[in-house]
Amino acid sequence: MPLDNVVFWVFAPISVASAIGMLLMRNAVHAALFLIVNFFCLAVFYLILDAPFLFAVQIIVYAGAIMVLFLFVIMLLGVDRGDDLRERLVGQRPLAIVLGIGFVAEIVVATRAGIGLATKAPAGFDQVNQPGNAQALAAVLFRDYFFPFEVTSILLIVAAVAAMVLGQRKARAVTQAELEAMEGVNA
């Protein structure tokens, strides 16, 4: 059995189990930790799909930056309150699970019709990845996708400004009575 097959069948159950664990956890911190496990599994899949640059980006951006942001907000909002798991719409939960299973069945049928269940990846990806994955990716990114790349930088600036605007507390105007009270304390 080839090595990448072994790696896939070790990490695929872990990724599915951690996703299910994230759904079942009442505590938001535990759910976030399960999600980090899932992101690491996906990074390993990128590695066996010959995308080592995305492997590094996945760990740095997702498992590092984004999940730290999530945990920071969870801590900020308080972790002691568990999620309220009562069902308010009757039958919503079973219906969601049935829909999920139906979606997976649809994906299996579509994959079988589209690319076949046993199609192996073609050889010759080493030539695509010349001289290295990061260099080849940079060549494509800065030649064919230069305009979208620049647009993304605008998007990031807009997102940073939006986060600052949304995150600031509104400064309330001080009323005349409060001003006099403060001056009275200081005097």
Partner 1 sequence: MRTPIASFVILSGILFSLGTIGVLVRKNALLIFMSVELQLNAVNLALVAFSRLHNGLDGQVLAFFSMVVAAAEVVVGLAIIVAVYRRRGTVDVDQARGLAG
Query: Smallest gap, in angstroms, from Cβ of residue 180 to partner 1?
Result: 29
In the complex with partner 1, the residue whose CB is nearer, 113 or 187, is: 113
Give the torsion through C-alpha atoms of 154, 156, 161, 167, to 10 deg.
160
Query: Smallest gap, in angstroms, from Cβ of residue 91 to partner 1?
Result: 12
Task: Residue count of the chain, please give it.
Answer: 187
In the complex with partner 1, the residue whose CB is nearer, 145 or 178, is: 145
Query: Smallest gap, in angstroms, from Cβ of residue 178 to partner 1?
Result: 22
In the complex with partner 1, the residue whose CB is nearer, 24 or 179, is: 24
Query: Smallest gap, in angstroms, from Cβ of residue 147 to partner 1?
Result: 12
Torsion over CA: 178, 180, 185, 186 (sign): positive
Determine the Cα–Cα distance for residues 123 and 67; give it in Å rounded to an integer.
36
Q: Which of 69, 39, 74, 68 is nearest to 54 (CA)?
A: 39
In the complex with partner 1, the residue whose CB is nearer, 126 or 183, is: 126
